[in-house]
Chains A and B, each alone.
Chain A
Amino acid sequence: MTAALALGDDALVLSHRLGEWAGHAPVLEEEVALANIALDLLGQARLLLSIEGDEDELAYLREERAFRNVQLVEQPNGDFAHTIARQLYFSVHQQGLYAQLAAGEGPFAGMAAKAVKEVAYHRDHAEQWTLRLGDGTDESHARMQRAVDALWRFTGELFQPVEGVDADWQALHSRWLEDVTDVLGRASLTVPTGPQSGAWTAGAGRQGIHTESFGRMLAEMQHLHRSHPGASW
């Protein structure tokens, strides 16, 4: 597995999920915000996949078992709370990781230095909504707690070391737990007590083992490109 694919697939798949919100957001400002985040992530994905090869071949012509993204990012959007919880978990992680990469001298330093600014915005957006939903109404509180709980078991995979990515994974995990605990606390939400991963996810996405909805997502994403082999667009 190459590092650029792992990081690139994370961004590509989450961008795709956010793109599914277009025209369905709860308020017009969120149409703009979700599309904006999706675009940033797509930009990151294109840079990363291009390090590995041809971005379109990699995005459109690999099958499910060849994708290296973590399972967290492929989780369906669910309700708005679900989307926000997924974004919170991922953005806090991505910001920590990219900050480390940007400070280093590895092959991703340049990319990470640019992307970490975007990711800081994504994280702020997710945190602000976590506060509003967690500390809003009884209904929003209940929905946000459900989402936070449901996605918790996919968070352990974020800290499985990726070969070729020079990061202190242990430190990333501790810092992530600290930051997420802080936000959830301020949002009057309870930090889930279950395991962050188990036999069902540990390192699975990185090895090309995905959840069921992912295959359907790829079918939709790839069908047109695959229907016209060799065409340029």
Chain B
Amino acid sequence: MAAGTASQTAQTAAGGGEGPEAALQAAFDAAVAADERIEPRDWMPDAYRASLVRQMAQHAHSEIIGMQPEANWITRAPSLRRKAILMAKVQDEAGHGLYLYSAAETLGTGREELLDKLHAGRQRYSSIFNYPTLTWADVGAIGWLVDGAAITNQVPLCRCSYGPYARAMVRICKEESFHQRQGYELLLALSNGSPAQHEMAQDAVNRWWWPSLMMFGPPDDASAHSAQSMAWKIKRHSNDELRQRFVDICVPQAEALGLTLPDPDIRWNEERGRHDFGPIDWTEFQEVLKGNGPCNEQRLTQRRRAHEEGAWVREAAAAYARKHTPGADPAVRNGKATA
């Protein structure tokens, strides 16, 4: 909703004799129902705010942790062109993390606080980044499948009811689509390359397919937050609906790549007009979420280490800023600050 509209509506309603909280809630509900955007200064239910913080923090953390599996191949990229593309992509991910932390900060939380929660294991990141990148082809599979799944999830978020999140997603989706095409093109080059390269590409798709389907979250009947998020128009489609869309998109793309998907049950269902596909191993998904995936420990340890080893750098920047900012405490400005 436009800044001001909600509070005006709320005041008017509050003057009408109802309790102020009920009036605010009514204005909020009306704005959501009318597909208006909720902005940072607008009143919002505490649970809406908490749910958004949880989702946006998890999203930001995923961008930051998600740098690791790909950065793992920067120093080994097999051509300078591919190396440049990969570096640019990892750089974009850091930028996406920054947009998303900024968007989350509009809800009254801080980046430092969110990072602390990530490091303490109290907030999550996407389960997909707990899988290892074992060959160069994994960089392509991540671009095609992981970014593809992310886009399927994120395009509807461009219409999310919370304005700052929706606007961040518009920018992010543009860059993600570009990454996804680059990943696809990388796999295409491998698939059409030598037999060893083709095999490398197929092996990567075999390992990344199922974890990518898990990115859409648990099935609808087991998804704790879905119904409320959809009612608030944070989410626009259910997990299973988005997963189905993704499968329908990927099947012809795999054919064009000359690669197969590792699911013998995938077939076109004429009646539904969609693809049927095999069952997902939800036990594996739950284990990865609980911290028992192949790389959970490694990913979090590296992130914590980067943060801890960088503490003296951040302290130096803060001390310098205090000394060189007009109006700062002269005692601090004159002496050398100590950490």
Q: Which residue of A lies closest to B82 (CB)?
A: A233
Q: Does B336 touch A at the CB level, under 8 Å? A: yes
Contact of A28 among B98, B193, B197, B302 (CB under 8 A): B98
Query: A-facing mask of B69-99, CB < 8 A → 1, else 0?
Result: 0010011111111111001101100110110
Contact residues of B between 85 and 136, Cβ < 8 Å to A: 87-88, 90-91, 94-95, 97-98, 101, 136
B67/A23 in contact, CB under 8 A? yes
B339/A139 in contact, CB under 8 A? yes
Contact of A35 among B75, B90, B306, B324 (CB under 8 A): B90
Q: Does A3 touch B at the CB level, under 8 Å? A: no
Q: Which residue of B lies closest to A46 (CB)?
A: B80
A26/B309 in contact, CB under 8 A? yes
A139 and B312 in contact, given A23-B67, A25-B306, A39-B84 (Cβ under 8 angstroms)? yes
Q: Does A55 touch B at the CB level, under 8 Å? A: yes
Contact residues of A between 136 and 169, Cβ < 8 Å to B: 136-141, 143
A135 and B68 in contact, given A35-B91, A55-B80, A231-B197 (Cβ under 8 angstroms)? no
CA gap between A41 and B131 in the complex, in Å: 31
Q: Which residue of A lies closest to B84 (CB)?
A: A42
Interface residues on A, range: 35 or more
CA gap between A60 and B80 in the complex, in Å: 9
A39 and B88 in contact, given A26-B309, A56-B80, A135-B323 (Cβ under 8 angstroms)? yes
Contacts of A25 in B (CB 8 A): 306, 310
A20 and B310 in contact, given A32-B98, A35-B91, A42-B87 (Cβ under 8 angstroms)? no
A138/B339 in contact, CB under 8 A? yes
Contact of B84 among A29, A43, A49, A79 (CB under 8 A): A43
Q: Does A133 touch B at the CB level, under 8 Å? A: yes
B316/A231 in contact, CB under 8 A? no
A137 and B316 in contact, given A24-B302, A28-B64, A228-B78 (Cβ under 8 angstroms)? yes
A26/B306 in contact, CB under 8 A? yes
Query: A-facing mask of B247-258, CB < 8 A → 1, else 0?
Result: 000000000000
Q: Does A22 touch B at the CB level, under 8 Å? A: yes
Contacts of B83 in A (CB 8 A): 19, 42
A137 and B80 in contact, given A22-B90, A32-B91 (Cβ under 8 angstroms)? no
Q: Which residue of B lies closest to A22 (CB)?
A: B71
A32 and B95 in contact, given A23-B306, A224-B136, A233-B78 (Cβ under 8 angstroms)? yes
Q: Does B189 touch A at the CB level, under 8 Å? A: yes
Q: Which residue of B lies closest to A132 (CB)?
A: B320
A220/B76 in contact, CB under 8 A? yes
A221 and B80 in contact, given A27-B313, A35-B91, A35-B94 (Cβ under 8 angstroms)? no
Contacts of B74 in A (CB 8 A): 19-20, 22
Contact residues of A between 168 and 200, Cβ < 8 Å to B: 188
B80/A143 in contact, CB under 8 A? no
Name the residue in A32, A49, A231, A233 with the highest tally of chain B Cβ atoms < 10 Å from its Cβ.
A233
Q: Does B317 touch A at the CB level, under 8 Å? A: yes
Q: Which residue of B lies closest to A56 (CB)?
A: B79
Closest CB-CB distance, A74 to chain B, in whole Å? 13
B310/A27 in contact, CB under 8 A? yes
Contact residues of A between 36 and 79, Cβ < 8 Å to B: 36, 38-39, 42-43, 45-46, 49, 55-56, 59-60, 79
Contacts of B64 in A (CB 8 A): 28
Closest CB-CB distance, A84 to chain B, in whole Å? 9
A59/B80 in contact, CB under 8 A? yes
Closest CB-CB distance, A78 to chain B, in whole Å? 12
Q: Does B194 touch A at the CB level, under 8 Å? A: yes
A29/B98 in contact, CB under 8 A? yes
Contact residues of B between 153 and 170, Cβ < 8 Å to A: none
Closest CB-CB distance, A211 to chain B, in whole Å? 18
CA gap between A139 and B338 in the complex, in Å: 8
Q: Does B284 touch A at the CB level, under 8 Å? A: no
CA gap between A32 and B33 in the complex, in Å: 39
> Can you identify 8 A-B contacts, CB atoms within 8 angstroms?
A23-B68, A25-B306, A46-B84, A132-B316, A135-B324, A137-B338, A138-B338, A233-B78
For the complex of A and B, the 6 pairs showing the least CB-CB separation, nearest first, are: A26-B310, A136-B316, A140-B316, A35-B91, A22-B71, A31-B94
Residues on B lying within 8 angstroms of A by beta carbon are 64, 67-68, 71, 74-84, 87-88, 90-91, 94-95, 97-98, 101, 136, 186, 189-190, 193-194, 196-197, 302, 305-307, 309-320, 323-324, 336-339
